[in-house]
Structure 1
Amino acid sequence: MGVFKISNPCPVQLNPDQPISEIIDLLIANKLCFAPVIKDQVLLGILSLATALKWTRSNEPLKNQGKVKDAMQTKIGPYQGGLDGKEGFPEGNCAFSREDSQGNSDGLITFKEAFTNLTQKMTTQNEFNQAILESAPVGIIALNALGEIIFMNKEAYRLLSVDSNIIGKPMKLVFPVSGLTNIIETGLTEFGQKLVVNGRTIISNRSPIILNDNICGAVAIFQDITELENISSQLASVKQLNLELDAIIESSFDGVMITNQEGVGIRINQALARLTGLDATNFEGKLIDDLFVKGIFEYESITIKALREGRTITNVQKVSTTGKEVLVTGNPIFDIEGKVHRVVTNVRDISELQNLKEKLKES
């Protein structure tokens, strides 16, 4: 499998036909606990010093006739335990086969080396996991089953304005209003819990830590939403202003129409609908100049003229649908670059005024 590399290749290689009595002295002389058994460059097994000694004691009359092949261990699987440790170390093995990328054995690795390498890899993985938690843009705090603080990341320290001396202390004493210890008792997950800490608004999600079907603690993930709440408050204020503006526009006895920089209607009030006999669908999302083209307005649109010339225009207009004569004023609104962004048009019914003037002339 090629998972591990042998840091110290074995200096002794055994032949299966060597006498066991010689091997014991050889292993002791080289300070080895085992050696590989190889024939024709093929790994046949391993013989450990402990196994050789045990064999000679068990076979005292034959100890001088015993061969390596009589006592060697032939079942040597490659170590397959990854970082998750699901495979683990085969029981009784003092060494494992090291394989190349094609699955061919090219040496041995000791149990100690395998364990050391696995420990190093797990340490590296733990350090990486720790870095992930520390880099998270949210606060994380964890308690053990006794309600004591066992972990806090950097953001949690910052948001709660505490230092590492808090580790090991009961949560109820440090933050009595947090409610996190209740999670250990209830085993329930809570979302969107809002707290005010150090003048900042914190929103927290909390859940129990479960291991082997048992609650062994609780964890909370929390975030500072103070700025979001400020923005939300500003949006609420803007919404309220819009409602008030709508109410003002609708309460006007004069007709009011708002168009964009392209002369397309955005909204009208009910007074304009009454003066023209046309509802909002004839204005909103439509080119206002089309009303002149369709003959609804007798003269060129005052709105379009104000948009084109970039100044306030006032003139009399005739509405064919109602026969009313109206006084129209178009007021351009400019953006920060000085370009016309909107046109607000005011429409006033002067038919009654004109009729009154005619009566005065006749009298």
Structure 2
Amino acid sequence: MLRVGQVMSRLSVCLHSYHTIGDALTLIKEKKVTGLPILNDQGRLLGMVTKEQIFEKGLEQFSAENKAVDYLTTRFLPLKEDALIEEVRDLPFDIYPVLNNQEEITGVVTKYSLIQSYLQQAELRSQELEAVFDSAHNGILAINKQGIITSLNPAAERPTRSTKEKAVGHFLNDIIIPTGLLEVVRSGIPEFGAKFKVGRRLYISNRTPILKDGEVVGAVGVFQDVSEIEKVLQELRSVKQLNEELQTIIASSYDGLIICDGQGEILRCNPAVGRILDVTWTELVGRPFKDFVDKGIFQKNIVHLVKKQDALVSLLERPLAKHSLVITGNPVYSEEGEIVKIVINIRDMSELVFLREALEESKQLSEKYQSQIAEMRNHQEIGAELRSCSVIMNNVMDLAIRVSQVDSPVVLIGEQGVGKEEIARLIHVRSKRGQAPFYKLNCGSLPNQLLEIELFGQGIPLDIAHRGKKGIFELAEKGTVYLEDIGKMSLSLQQRLLRILQDKILQVSGGKEPISVDIRIIASSSRPLKELVEKGLFHKDLFFSLNVVPIKVPALRERKEDLIPLVLFHLEQNNKRHGLDKVFSPEAVQLFLNYSWLGNVRELANVIERLVVTSNDKFISAREVDLVLYEKEQSPLRSVTVAGLIPLKEAIDDLEQQLVTLAMKQHGTTIKAAEALGVNQSTVVRKLKRLKNNQD
């Protein structure tokens, strides 16, 4: 800060009352000032003689011999040397005498000099502030009350993605993404520690209003790039977390851990040391390891041995005691190759021996119970599908369980959907073969050639597309094969199956030598096999070999006692599967009891799932059940409409062709199409051949 004494014109002499005006002008010229102070005989300041005062007197009566006091002016104000320029620059006079602390006149100063020095000082300060502003590491952005950017330093160009030349003089929102400064201008409330990101860089901003005479005239935002600091903090957190994890690992280790410095003083140990050595582990810290050797806790000083051998050392201590210990000392080296720490691991071998024996015992028990648990689980799962309250079905279940204990072939007779496959699985899991494979194959779902490959395998590749493969009779070794709809198997394949039943020999298709097999065969049919034998559709010898234990599975309409338990079971399963809570009304349940259930349990399961997922209300009404159960009778697709008269034979032929074509389109194979139309497969094949000939 400039003071008056720094800019004044220093005087070695002053005017006195005896000086003439000529003397005064000479001194003024010599000192290059515009005026001089005049003192009286006692040295007190009387006033000032200035050039301006001389010119005001006029030159008509001017004489160099005139007294200087005649030109005296009392319009002055003395200033102190240590007065600040900014405090006196606005005083009204053009020239001032300057006094020191002893009230002695030491010089004069003009108002022009004061103002000029003040402006120079202000300009210099402005340049310094500008340099500081531009050199600041933190970004600084200022706006006025109207939101116009007034300042932007280089450090602020990166986060604002603008430059000083482009930003200053423009509205804030037109240049950069708003930073909250406008809100600070409006509210006058500062905001500190606000975080924002620009690209991958993180910044913290402090925004404060600019006040003048208590009024908000703008706002300034100062923001600092804390990306590196945040990165360091993140690394610090990671290191801290890692340290905490290591501390937890050491404290949780079942083995005892002792860490010593290079001189053998214990720096740290974990609670396991106290458990193994029967000591208070916290008392070990800060004491030399040698003290515990002297007390007999350790037999040998492993620290000394590690330092002596300069390598890892392992010892066996207390081999016959309660705690048989394996102690390992591992040296830790500094960059200079000196041992700075020794990590000692203490393992209680007696506990490991005990645990090994317990593990062996548990393993034996586990193996013993594992098969029992798996069998119980399988029984429970299969039993869920075969819930029964009826005497007739319970008799079937009892017979199936008794038969499961032997290896005799079983034939299951019953309508579609009565649960023949579930009974076959029950027989399998209850048998001694329960842990072996269970294979199922529908004999009516494949053409004869593919069925032969699936059953008996293929030894020699016929072409690239059909490579050799194992059949299910070979894959199911020690297990069970379930042949569904066995009555639809061709007679040639029945002959080969007979050999497996009689001789336990499998001849692979294309194979050179027969293979010995150990399997159990369970078959099923919707029609009695004896009836098929009488019609020549089933091999008589195979019938006698296979039909050792026939089990007739009753239709659902023959065991109405099981209907309600099955309805409730499938309702509960569907509610759980779909997250619902549906309930059947009593009238709806009565409709279930009155329905014939030609599709048996399978149809029941499908109908209940459909009702659960399509009903809008919690309570499923009888009307909804009625629509689902009897929709086939009500379907308009079952009616045939004619537009005019044609010969009856032509109408029948045309209708047959349409039905066969539609069945093949929907089902894809002649077997399934025949099932849908209620005729033999040969009938469908014959109709298709006739249709093709007519088209040709």
If the length of structure 2 is used for normalisation, what is the TM-score?
A: 0.42
CA deviations over 1:79-129 (Å, ceiling 9, x no partner):
66525x2344433x1101134675522442221122111221222223223
Give the letter aligned to residue 2 of structure 1.
G
Provide the residue aligned with 2:154 in structure 1. Answer: 154
Task: Tell me, yes or no, if structure 1 residue 309 matches structure 2 residue 309.
Answer: yes
Provide the residue aligned with 1:72 in structure 2. Answer: 73
Secondary structure of the corresponding residue to residue 38 of structure 1: strand
Give the alignment of 1:190-339 within 5 angstroms. Answer: 190-297=191-298, 299-318=299-318, 324-339=323-338
Task: Tell me, yes or no, if structure 1 residue 183 matches structure 2 residue 184.
Answer: yes
Name the structure with the higher helix share.
2
Give the letter aligned to residue 260 of structure 1.
D
Q: CA contact under 8 A between 2:139 and 2:155: conserved in structure 1?
A: yes
Hey, what's the Cα distance between the residues in 2 that align with 1:35 and 1:353? 110
Secondary structure of the corresponding residue to residue 338 of structure 1: coil
Hey, what's the Cα distance between the residues in 2 that align with 1:155 and 1:258? 50
Provide the residue aligned with 2:121 in structure 1. Answer: 121
Give the letter aligned to residue 138 of structure 1.
N
Report the CA distance between 1:347 and its aligned residue.
0.9
Hey, what's the Cα distance between the residues in 2 that align with 1:324 and 1:141? 73
Provide the residue aligned with 1:137 in structure 2. Answer: 137
**For the structure 1 residues 153 and 307, does the alpha-carbon distance in structure 2 shift closer, same or farther, using more than 3 Å as the test?**
farther
Report the CA distance between 1:54 and its aligned residue.
7.2
Give the letter aligned to residue 344 of structure 2.
T
User: 5+ residue gaps in structure 1?
Assistant: 27-31, 57-64, 357-363
Q: CA contact under 8 A between 1:5 and 1:98: conserved in structure 2?
A: yes
Q: CA contact under 8 A between 1:33 and 1:50: conserved in structure 2?
A: no
Moved more, 267-276 or 72-81: 72-81
Hey, what's the Cα distance between the residues in 1 that align with 2:312 and 2:350? 23
Q: CA contact under 8 A between 1:272 and 1:347: conserved in structure 2?
A: yes
**For the structure 1 residues 264 and 222, does the alpha-carbon distance in structure 2 shift closer, same or farther, using more than 3 Å as the test?**
farther
If asked which structure has higher relative contact order (CA below 8 Å, sep 6+), I would say 1
Q: CA contact under 8 A between 2:137 and 2:155: conserved in structure 1?
A: yes
Report the CA distance between 1:14 and its aligned residue.
9.4
Task: Tell me, yes or no, if structure 1 residue 82 matches structure 2 residue 80.
Answer: no
Give the letter aligned to residue 285 of structure 1.
G
Give the letter aligned to residue 221 of structure 2.
A
Hey, what's the Cα distance between the residues in 2 that align with 1:354 and 1:111? 104
Report the CA distance between 1:307 and its aligned residue.
4.0
Hey, what's the Cα distance between the residues in 2 that align with 1:53 and 1:118? 29
Report the CA distance between 1:329 and its aligned residue.
0.7
Moved more, 299-308 or 196-205: 299-308
Q: CA contact under 8 A between 1:14 and 1:35: conserved in structure 2?
A: no
CA deviations over 1:260-319 (Å, ceiling 9, x no partner):
33323333233222101223312223322221133322x233244324532111112349
Q: CA contact under 8 A between 1:142 and 1:217: conserved in structure 2?
A: yes
Give the letter aligned to residue 36 of structure 2.
P
Q: CA contact under 8 A between 1:47 and 1:73: conserved in structure 2?
A: no
Q: CA contact under 8 A between 1:261 and 1:340: conserved in structure 2?
A: yes
Report the CA distance between 1:68 and its aligned residue.
5.1
Report the CA distance between 1:349 and its aligned residue.
1.6
**For the structure 1 residues 76 and 243, does the alpha-carbon distance in structure 2 shift closer, same or farther, using more than 3 Å as the test?**
closer
**For the structure 1 residues 252 and 78, does the alpha-carbon distance in structure 2 shift closer, same or farther, using more than 3 Å as the test?**
closer
Q: Percent identity?
A: 27
**For the structure 1 residues 68 and 243, does the alpha-carbon distance in structure 2 shift closer, same or farther, using more than 3 Å as the test?**
closer
Provide the residue aligned with 1:5 in structure 2. Answer: 8
**For the structure 1 residues 175 and 341, does the alpha-carbon distance in structure 2 shift closer, same or farther, using more than 3 Å as the test?**
farther
Secondary structure of the corresponding residue to residue 291 of structure 1: helix
**For the structure 1 residues 39 and 348, does the alpha-carbon distance in structure 2 shift closer, same or farther, using more than 3 Å as the test?**
closer
Hey, what's the Cα distance between the residues in 2 that align with 1:177 and 1:278? 66
User: 5+ residue gaps in structure 2?
Assistant: 27-31, 59-65, 356-696
Provide the residue aligned with 1:108 in structure 2. Answer: 108
Hey, what's the Cα distance between the residues in 2 that align with 1:102 and 1:68? 25
Residue from 19, 22, 46 that aligns with 2:48: 46
Hey, what's the Cα distance between the residues in 2 that align with 1:37 and 1:246? 86
**For the structure 1 residues 251 and 115, does the alpha-carbon distance in structure 2 shift closer, same or farther, using more than 3 Å as the test?**
closer
Give the letter aligned to residue 148 of structure 1.
I
CA deviations over 1:216-244 (Å, ceiling 9, x no partner):
11122221111111122222222333333
Give the letter aligned to residue 305 of structure 1.
L
Hey, what's the Cα distance between the residues in 2 that align with 1:157 and 1:97? 51
**For the structure 1 residues 123 and 81, does the alpha-carbon distance in structure 2 shift closer, same or farther, using more than 3 Å as the test?**
farther
Hey, what's the Cα distance between the residues in 2 that align with 1:124 and 1:278? 76
